[in-house]
Structure 1
Amino acid sequence: MIRASLGSDEYWVGRVKKFRDAVQEHGDLCQTPSENPKYEPQFQFNLSVYHVRLILLLYSSGSPIHELAQPFPGLLDAWELSNRQSDEVCKAHHLPTCRDWDFSLTCLNHYNWCFWLIGLALALDIPEEQWQRLLALVGGEGEDELLDRVIASRQPGRRIGSALLHAKPYGRLLEAVNAPQPHQAAALREFVDHWYAELKRPAPKNRKAPAVEPFWYIYGDPEKHPLEMGSYFGRWCIEAVAAVKAFGLDDSQCLGHEYYPGDLLRPDGPSIHPVREEPKDGWLARLFGKKKI
């Protein structure tokens, strides 16, 4: 059963195959000397992103939850190698750093990305060795109250930050975490309802400033980045799942929400996503050669 709100069976089968092939092709290329060593750190980081996108494509397409953790070792290997190569490039060119992302107020994209990885790791119960490697890659200890508290649910003793770096949309999630138990379900639903819209920030006055919305934000938008471009992998509020897993929040009011990937917490089913109706001119019409009049 397709979990995402957009895309046909054909779309999801094609996208999953595309990214499986991309991961394999990138892995094969890693076995040969690079023709552009300066680009190699970015090449490896792109490979780690492909692994994560494959996880999300598998979820959207309806794959069993127990299969989703399989790409995790590959994404960790690629990100770690990317960091080592980045350090080498910096050293060779006398640069203090070759990375321009951190948990700063301006870098929503990186914060969102790391929150997703932590949420997936918690929901999928990745092995401890992988968890420790992920924490080393994410870093940021003591910088953000919400993410630190989520991580501390599996990593007791983590230093908790005193600031919330991205009040929109994450202030609503922190309110849900802090709410009395009878009010948690409604507060969590409030966060999920506003999550996508509040990820978009006003354009910065300084054109050199980082992007003010996650890189995936427009994927699937019929005007800006339509489905046929093939980038859409679903719009999933993994941060909500992370909080539910970490703090035992009541997610009953989020079940069936188009942004809430609740099946991550229910690996044995049944799915919380509504069954999508096949269009009248769908596969049966194609099978019998009928056309919509």
Structure 2
Amino acid sequence: MIRDTKGTVEYWDEAVDFSERTIDRFTMESLSPSGDPEYRPQFLFEIVKEYYQLMLERYSRGDAPQELAQYFLPLLSFWEDSERLGLTTWTTQQCNTRHSWSLNLDHYIVCFWLVGLALVLDIPGDQWQRLIILIGNDGEDALLDRVIATRQLDRKIGTKVCQASPYARLLKAIEAPPSKQANLLREFVQHWYEELHCSPKRPGLSGATAVYDRPYWYTLGDKQLEDSGYFGRWCIEAVAVAKAFGIDDTLCLDHPNYPGDLLMDGRSPRYPDAVVAEQPSAPARGWLRRLLGN
């Protein structure tokens, strides 16, 4: 019984298998001297990326959420190695562009996802502390800092939302009276995906902003599924807030982007593979292209 009907069970099985094999291959390669030392920090972070995408692929396939926690420990280790090497490789400007929540939408989202997964999966305290050190940006964001502060009591709270579109809506849900929070959480989930796509003329988007006006995964799978690297489109940010602040998420459970089973398995819609719409076939070399593209 799958959770994401964009792919069949065969698609999700192949996606999970491919990610696992890629992680194994990259891990072996990481043990050898690098042919390009300047790229090595980014290469190590590519393994981090493969791990959190694997977690979401497995969730999309219908796997039990508690099985996802096993990936946090290796993910954190590779991220720490990436940051350690980056200190001697990246320029000050590169470090700022990579880590700033205001400048880098992708980084903000990934940090939010990992915090959310850490909260709902209740990772051990030592792993949580390592995650918070890696995330950094203490006191930079009025929303994500609040979420972190529910488990990290000494966390400084920022005064503005670094990525106001769409996340100002989620802050509004947190700050609303309890009687209005459920509806506002649903409203955020409804607008989350469409509002992540920013126009190049969006206020605050400038030449200093990191590369893209939308997340790197935003259109994955839209044109052709099999070789796209699509791993699901899950609004983990909403489930993180529901967990952190005890907001009733019942109104969100039927939304196709809301991963309600992360809070308690068996609540979100599940689908037998037989009812999944047939996806356009891609040549077998599609997965090879994805492998070489990594």
* TM-score normalised by the chain length of structure 1: 0.88
Shift of 1:104: 4.4
Residues 162, 181 of structure 1: CA spacing in aligned structure 2 closer, same or farther, 3 A cutoff?
Answer: same
- Post-superposition Cα deviations, 1:20-66, rounded to whole Å, max 9, x if no partner, equal 01111111112222222111111101011111111111100111111
Which whole-Å CA distance do the structure 1 matches of 2:253 and 2:277 have between them?
A: 29
Shift of 1:102: 2.8
Alignment of 1:1-293 (within 5 A): 1-90=1-90, 95-96=91-92, 98-99=94-95, 100-204=97-201, 209=209, 210-222=211-223, 226-266=224-264, 269-276=265-272, 278-279=274-275
Structure 1 SS opposite 2:99: coil
Which whole-Å CA distance do the structure 2 matches of 1:280 and 1:261 have between them?
A: 18
Residues 104, 52 of structure 1: CA spacing in aligned structure 2 closer, same or farther, 3 A cutoff?
Answer: closer
Structure 2 SS opposite 1:229: coil
Count of residue pairs the alignment pairs up = 273
- Post-superposition Cα deviations, 1:218-254, rounded to whole Å, max 9, x if no partner, equal 11213xxx21223110000000011011000010100
Aligned twin of 1:287:
none
Which whole-Å CA distance do the structure 2 matches of 1:80 and 1:164 have between them?
A: 26
Which whole-Å CA distance do the structure 1 matches of 2:136 and 2:101 have between them?
A: 13
Q: Which has the larger radius of gyration?
A: 1
Which whole-Å CA distance do the structure 2 matches of 1:4 and 1:53 have between them?
A: 14
CA contact (8 A) 2:5 2:276 kept: no
Shift of 1:208: 7.4
Shift of 1:138: 0.6
In structure 1, stretches of 5+ residues that fail to align are 283-293
User: What letter corresponds to residue 80 of structure 2 in structure 1?
Assistant: E
Shift of 1:281: 9.4
CA contact (8 A) 1:219 1:231 kept: yes
User: What letter corresponds to residue 52 of structure 1 in structure 2?
Assistant: Y
Which whole-Å CA distance do the structure 1 matches of 2:266 and 2:58 have between them?
A: 17
Shift of 1:108: 1.4
Residues 280, 159 of structure 1: CA spacing in aligned structure 2 closer, same or farther, 3 A cutoff?
Answer: closer
Residue identity (%): 45
Structure 2 SS opposite 1:110: helix
Q: CA RMSD of the aligned region, Å?
A: 1.9
CA contact (8 A) 1:237 1:260 kept: yes
Which whole-Å CA distance do the structure 2 matches of 1:273 and 1:47 have between them?
A: 30
Shift of 1:97: 5.3
